[in-house]
């Protein structure tokens, strides 16, 4: 009987809560990169503001952009990379931020904001969420085994065919994203990393084609697990993703991340509000919450990416704040570069075509 | 009652056509329309786009067939179509070779256990398709179950490199599509009258010959239905090659993805889709036509 009674209570409670749900109509729909937040932050936000968070993830800028230009995404906050954001702003898919609703912007790091302004002049449409570098993730033990004198601090490790062929057996993966990968190939080839220079794009593509036999796969997220499981020994990927693989693998295999000495790409993931966002007020509330120093520091501690919030530095874990792979030292920062957005569809076509040829040989 | 009957009949006949019009013809026309437009940096990312039907006539002059001309100018598209057709054809053949004995054994099993066998064929589909493909990653990867097992047996001493190759794509397609091959084959084999084979045996026909002359021709509708059911989706398969295949596995699904997402060129992506559809629909229409003629002739 007691069981039946408690069951009835449970059912009543379930009915009551499902009926109460519409009263809590305030919600914010967020579309962010996969493995890019400490979920506790979302719970804290819900508790504090009473705004329900619906959180979806993607793993490629291309997919986000296709949704944005289709329109009617239903999302209130999206987090594209700045190189893509710049073009999306021109396509008219975002609304200008109402900075009176974002008092926490005072915490932002002017150095990062200025660099991001290259893509979003005046930071009118976006606020930095995280930033990072595109470098090399590797398994020191396996690399050392395959090639004891491997040049681990250089792009030669991946792009010199004579070096790379040693690692074919232990597995190599590269990002399936020409915007992230081709600039690093240009750097290796001694060219200015510029995606709008079709000659450089072709050269980089031709060089990649030569490496084809040694590369297991191009993919933009599989390398995290593959590195952590020891299925591969070398990958070109995003700083924080590789550091996540390293901590995931902690006990089983060793994984390290390096920003090659020749220089590497610096990128910014920016929070923005689509023009047709159904809940713009809640979107501003969410962005304002995320720019609170202790909140964004919590996210950085969790995902091992640096954020664009200067005031957040004192809330960072020592291990994150002092890690040059997350917050590069000043002389490394000097070697980091940003890449301009490609706007001309003809140039884009040449890039994609070179990319396909590099991967499939046709 | 008698007066109402024709209406009801028309309704029953119209229903499939209505279904086709809403879920096939209309989307196709939309895709076809986009394939005639030009890409631009806007929302939506192509011109012309219409806000009303009246505008179609106004802006129709902006339509272009350049996108189709472009497809013909780059060998990438031929290679992608050809490679997809090849992978789908080999997969269909493998499915037939594996599915036929499967279905034959099911149809010959005692009546009482046939429903259970049928259930066993369908059962794996109750788990998400994506999870089952992911499971294959665990089996096929170098440190995976298959390599570990074969090394343990002593058959091989180096881990197998099957993952991220075309072989893995074939394994994935054959595994995922097997029920769609087995079910139509079973349906036609199960109807087969066993006394025909007895009669053949009585007249001195050896079993293998009886199989070729009686069983196979009578199960032909099942073979054709099963082959269509697996061949057509296999040509456009995207998920299996993306997860199990290597970067050099060229398939039209991936080429279409690159046009749409990489180049943000919806018009060319739509043209690729239209050509793919024609490539698949034409043989089906020809086949249907031939079958209709056969039925006519049989009368």
Instruction: Please name the residue that has the structure tokens 């290597």.
Output: B246
Which two three-digit tokens encode residue A153?
């601090």
What are the tens digits of pLDDT across the range B179-201?
Answer: 999 999 999 999 998 899 999 99
Task: Report pLDDT for A227.
Answer: 94
Q: Is the pLDDT of residue A37 over 70?
A: yes
Q: Cβ of B73 under 8 Å from any chain A Cβ?
A: no
A64, closest residue in chain B (CA to CA): B261
Q: Do domains A26-131+267-334 and A133-266+340-360 have the same CATH topology?
A: yes
Number of neighbours of residue A47 by Cβ within 10 angstroms: 8
Query: What backbone phi and psi angles, to 5 degrees, belong to A265?
Result: -80, 135
Contact assessment for residue A146 and residue A253, using Cβ atoms and an 8 Å cutoff = no
Of B234, B233, B216, the C-alpha closest to B224 is B216
Mean pLDDT of chain B: 90
Q: Strands A217-218 and A234-238: what pairing? A: unpaired
| CB contact B43 to A (< 8 Å) | yes
3-state DSSP of chain A: CHHHHHHHHHHHHHHHHHHHHHHCCCEEEEEEECCCCCHHHHHHHHHHHCCEEEEEEECCHHHHHHHHHHCCCCCCEECCEHHHHHHHHHCCCECCCCHHHCHHHHHECHHHHHHHCCCCHHHCCEEEEEEEEEEEEECHHHHHHHCCCCCCCCCHHHHCHHHHHHHCCCCEEECCCHHHHHHHHHHHHCCCCCCCCHHHHHHHHHHHHHHHHHCCEECCCHHHHHHHCCCCCEEEEEHHHHHHHHHHHCCCCCCEEECCCCCEEEEEEEEECECCCCCHHHHHHHHHHHCCHHHHHHHHHHHCCECCEHHHHHHCCHHHHCCCCCCCCHHHHCCEECCCCCCCHHHHHHHHHHHHHHHHCC
- Inter-chain touch A71–B43, beta carbons under 8 Å: yes
Best A351, A352, A354 member to test B by mutation, with max B CBs in 10 Å, is A352
Taking only the tens place, the pLDDT of each residue in A269-298 is 999 999 999 999 999 999 999 999 999 999
> For the CA atoms of chain A, what is the radius of gyration?
22
pLDDT (0 to 100) of residue A5: 47
* pLDDT (mean) for A316-323: 94
Is the bond preceding residue A254 a cis peptide, omega within 30 degrees? Answer: no
**Nearest chain B alpha carbon to A362:** B76
- A187 contacts: CB under 8 Å, gap ≥ 6: A155, A193, A260, A262, A263, A264
Q: How is chain B split among helix, strand and coil, in percent rounded to 5?
A: 80, 0, 20
- What share of chain B has pLDDT > 90, as a percent? 65
Cα dihedral B19, B24, B27, B30 sign: negative
Phi first, then psi, for residue A119 (nearest 5°) are: -95, -30
Residue of A nearest to B248 (CA): A360
Average pLDDT value for chain A: 91
Q: What is the pLDDT of residue A22?
A: 45
Of B263, B253, B44, B270, whose CA–CA distance to A67 is shortest? B44
ipTM above 0.95, yes or no: no
Q: Is B250 helix (H, G, I), strand (E, B) or coil?
A: coil
Predicted TM-score (pTM) of this structure: 0.83
What pLDDT shows up at residue B50? 74
Question: Is A355 in contact with B262 (Cβ distance < 8 A)?
Answer: yes
Tell me which chain B residues have a C-beta less than 8 angstroms from the C-beta of A249: none
Measure the CA–CA gap between B168 and A163, rounded to whole angstroms.
28
CB atoms B262 and A178 under 8 Å? yes
User: What's the pLDDT band for A163 if we cut at 50, 70, 90?
Assistant: very high
In tens, the pLDDT along A223-243 reads 999 999 888 999 999 999 999
Question: What architecture is domain A133-266+340-360?
Answer: 3-Layer(aba) Sandwich (3.40)
pLDDT of A20 > 60? The answer is no
Check residue A154 and report its DSSP letter. Answer: S
In the predicted model, what is the mean pLDDT of residues B130-145? 91
3-class secondary structure, B171: helix
Cα distance from A42 to chain B (closest Cα, Å)? 27
Segment B120-138 shows an average pLDDT of 92
Which pLDDT value is given to residue A228? 93
Say if the Cβ atoms of B263 and A230 lie within 8 Å.
Answer: no
Average pLDDT over residues B148-161: 89
Going through chain A in order, the beta strands assigned E by DSSP cover 27-33, 52-58, 77-78, 126-138, 172-174, 217-218, 234-238, 256-258, 264-272, 336-337
A66 chain-B contacts, CB cut-off 8 A: 260-261, 264
**A131 near A267, Cβ under 8 Å?**
yes
pLDDT for res A14: 47
Write down the pLDDT at residue A10.
Answer: 47
The 10 Å Cβ neighbour count of residue B4 is: 8
Coil, strand or helix at A76: coil
Select the residue from A182, A252, A356 to test the B interface by mutation, using most B Cβ atoms within 10 A. Answer: A356
- When pLDDT is cut at 50, 70 and 90, the band that residue B3 belongs to is low
- Specify burial of residue B33 (Cβ count, 10 A radius: 0-12, 13-18, 19+): middle
Tell me the mean pLDDT in the region A70-86: 96
Give CA–CA dist A145/A97, Å, rounded.
52
Report yes or no: A65 at the B interface, CB cutoff 8 Å: yes
Chain A: give the shortest CA distance to residue B142, in Å.
Answer: 7
In this predicted structure, the answer to whether residue A2 has a pLDDT above a threshold of 50 is no
Following DSSP, what letter does each residue of B12-31 receive, concatenated? HHHHHHHHHIIIIIHHHHHH
**Percent above pLDDT 90 for chain A:** 84
* pLDDT of res. B4: 56
- Residue A144 banded pLDDT, cuts 50, 70, 90: very high
Q: Name beta bridge partners: A234.
A: A138, A172
- Average pLDDT over every residue of B22-51: 88
Q: Give strand pairing partners of B41.
A: none
pLDDT for the residue B141: 87
Task: Please give the Cα distance from B41 to A341 (Å, whole number).
Answer: 13
Q: Does the pLDDT value for residue A250 go beyond 90?
A: no
Could you tell me the residue ranges of all domains in chain A? 26-131+267-334, 133-266+340-360
CA distance A314 to chain B (A): 40
The pair of three-digit structure tokens given for residue B236, joined into one six-digit string: 């456009």
**B17 vs chain A: nearest CA distance in angstroms?**
29
Q: For residue A94, which of A116, A127, A118 has the smallest C-alpha distance? A: A127
pLDDT for res B290 = 80
pLDDT at A184: 97
Mutate to test the interface with A, among B136, B148, B248 (most CBs of A within 10 A): B248
Residue B6 has pLDDT above 80, yes or no: no
Which residues on chain B are in Cβ contact (under 8 Å) with A91?
Answer: 41-43, 45
User: Top-level CATH class of B74-264?
Assistant: mainly alpha
Q: How far apart are the first and last CA of chain A?
A: 72
- The answer to whether A70 contacts chain B (CB < 8 Å) is yes
* Cβ A286 vs Cβ A275: under 8 Å: no
Q: Is B76 helix (H, G, I), strand (E, B) or coil?
A: helix
Contact A362 B246 (CB under 8 A): no
Please tell me the least confidently modeled range out of A248-252, A255-259, B175-179, B192-196: A248-252
Chain B residues within 8 A of A217 when measuring between CB atoms: 164, 246-247
pLDDT at B60: 76
Contact A171 B247 (CB under 8 A): no
The CATH number that domain A26-131+267-334 falls under is 3.40.190.10
Residues 6+ apart with CB under 8 A from A209: A357, A358, A361
Does pLDDT of B251 surpass 90?
yes
User: What residues in A contact B249, CB-CB < 8 Å?
Assistant: 360
C-alpha angle with apex B25: B21 to B31, nearest 5 degrees? 150
pLDDT tens per residue across span B58-91? 777 788 888 999 999 999 999 999 999 999 999 9
């Amino acid at each position: 009987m007691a069981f039946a009674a408690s069951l009835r209570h449970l059912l009543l409670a379930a009915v009551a809560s499902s009926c109460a749900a519409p009263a809590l109509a305030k919600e914010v729909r967020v579309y962010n990169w996969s493995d890019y937040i400490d979920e506790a932050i979302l719970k804290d936000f819900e508790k504090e503001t009473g705004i329900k968070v619906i959180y979806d993830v993607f793993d490629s800028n291309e997919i986000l952009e296709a949704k944005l230009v289709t329109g009617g995404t239903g999302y209130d906050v999206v987090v594209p990379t700045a190189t893509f954001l710049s073009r999306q702003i021109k396509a008219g898919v975002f609304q200008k931020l109402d900075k009176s609703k974002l008092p926490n912007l005072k915490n932002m790091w002017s150095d990062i904001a200025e660099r991001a302004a290259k893509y979003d002049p005046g930071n009118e449409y976006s606020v930095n969420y995280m930033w990072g570098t595109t470098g090399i993730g590797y398994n020191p033990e396996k690399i050392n085994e395959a090639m004891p004198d491997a040049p681990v601090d250089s792009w030669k490790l991946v792009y010199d065919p004579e070096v790379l062929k040693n690692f074919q057996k232990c597995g190599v993966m590269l990002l399936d994203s020409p915007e992230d990968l081709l600039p690093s190939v240009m750097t290796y080839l001694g060219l200015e990393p510029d995606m709008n220079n079709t000659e450089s794009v072709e050269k980089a593509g031709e060089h990649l084609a030569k490496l084809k036999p040694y590369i297991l796969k191009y993919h933009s997220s599989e390398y995290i697990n593959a590195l952590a499981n020891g299925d591969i020994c070398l990958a070109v990927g995003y700083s924080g993703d590789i550091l996540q693989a390293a901590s995931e693998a902690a006990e089983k295999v060793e994984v390290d991340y390096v920003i090659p000495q020749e220089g590497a790409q610096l990128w910014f993931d920016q929070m923005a509000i689509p023009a047709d966002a159904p809940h713009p007020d809640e979107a501003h509330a969410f962005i304002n919450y995320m720019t609170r120093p202790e909140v964004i520091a919590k996210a950085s501690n969790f995902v091992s990416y640096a954020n664009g919030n200067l005031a957040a530095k004192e809330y960072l874990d020592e291990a994150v704040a002092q890690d040059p792979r997350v917050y590069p030292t000043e002389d490394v920062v000097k070697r980091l570069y940003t890449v301009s957005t490609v706007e001309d569809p003809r140039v884009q076509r040449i890039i994609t075509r070179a990319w396909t040829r590099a991967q499939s040989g046709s | 009652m008698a007066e109402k009957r024709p209406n009801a009949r028309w309704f029953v006949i119209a229903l499939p056509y209505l279904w086709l019009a809403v879920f096939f013809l209309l989307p196709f026309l939309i895709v076809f329309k986009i394939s005639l437009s030009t890409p631009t940096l806007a929302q939506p990312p192509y011109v012309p786009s219409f806000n009303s039907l009246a505008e179609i006539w106004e802006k129709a002059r902006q339509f272009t067939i350049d996108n189709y001309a472009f497809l013909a100018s780059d060998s990438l598209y031929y290679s992608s179509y050809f490679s997809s057709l090849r992978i789908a054809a080999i997969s269909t053949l493998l499915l037939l070779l594996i599915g036929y004995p499967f279905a034959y054994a099911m149809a010959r099993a005692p009546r009482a256990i046939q429903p259970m066998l049928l259930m066993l064929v369908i059962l794996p589909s109750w788990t998400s398709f994506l999870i089952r493909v992911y499971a294959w990653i665990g089996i096929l990867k170098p440190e995976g179950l298959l390599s570990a097992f074969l090394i343990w047996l002593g058959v091989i001493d180096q881990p197998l490199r099957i993952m991220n190759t075309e072989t893995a794509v074939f394994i994935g397609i054959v595994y995922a599509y097997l029920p769609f091959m087995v079910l139509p084959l079973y349906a036609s084999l199960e109807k087969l009258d066993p006394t025909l084979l007895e009669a053949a045996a009585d007249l001195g026909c050896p079993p293998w010959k009886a199989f070729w002359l009686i069983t196979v021709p009578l199960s032909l509708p099942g073979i054709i239905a099963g082959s269509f059911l697996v061949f057509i989706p296999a040509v456009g398969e995207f998920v299996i090659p993306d997860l199990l295949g290597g970067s050099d596995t060229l398939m039209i699904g991936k080429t279409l993805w690159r046009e749409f997402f990489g180049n943000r060129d919806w018009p060319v992506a739509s043209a690729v889709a239209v050509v793919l559809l024609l490539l698949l629909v034409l043989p089906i229409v020809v086949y249907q036509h031939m079958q209709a003629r056969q039925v006519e002739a049989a009368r």
